[in-house]
Amino acid sequence: GQSLEQPSEVTAVEGAIVQINCTYQTSGFYGLSWYQQHDGGAPTFLSYNALDGLEETGRFSSFLSRSDSYGYLLLQELQMKDSASYFCAVANQAGTALIFGKGTTLSVSS
């Protein structure tokens, strides 16, 4: 089956850089996704890595190492609005649904 591990909480201050790690164990691997969810809101898609390396989208970057079964989400120039839960996710073995990690709650303070 698929399983993912990520830290439960991360705290940082405005303007800082934070890295949220995710390790996974899968039977079959297609890629690693990241989602953001604000309190009371819906998960929203941030990024997807199918190949090794770093993908950059504005202040957010996502990295994947398939050989290490490891990825991370890097958030730069943190803002208060980045306070949210961040989930990594992989597809199930058949590729027909996403399996989510338990989420990392990021708290950004001023």
Q: Which residues bind other proteins (CB under 8 A)?
A: 30-31, 33, 37, 41-45, 48, 85, 87, 89, 91-92, 94-100, 102-103, 105
Q: Least distance from C-beta 15 to other proteins, angstroms?
A: 27
Q: Nearer to other proteins by C-beta: 39 or 110? A: 39
Task: Determine the 3-state secondary structure of 81 from DSSP.
Answer: helix
Cβ 98 to other proteins shortest distance, Å: 7
Residue 5 burial class via C-beta count within 10 angstroms: exposed 0-12, middle 13-18, buried 19 and up: middle
Residues contacting 96, CB < 8 A, separation 6+? none
Report the alpha-carbon distance of residue 29 to residue 43 in Å, rounded: 22
Residue closer to other proteins, measured from CB, 40 or 110: 40
Nearer to other proteins, 34 or 78 (CB): 34
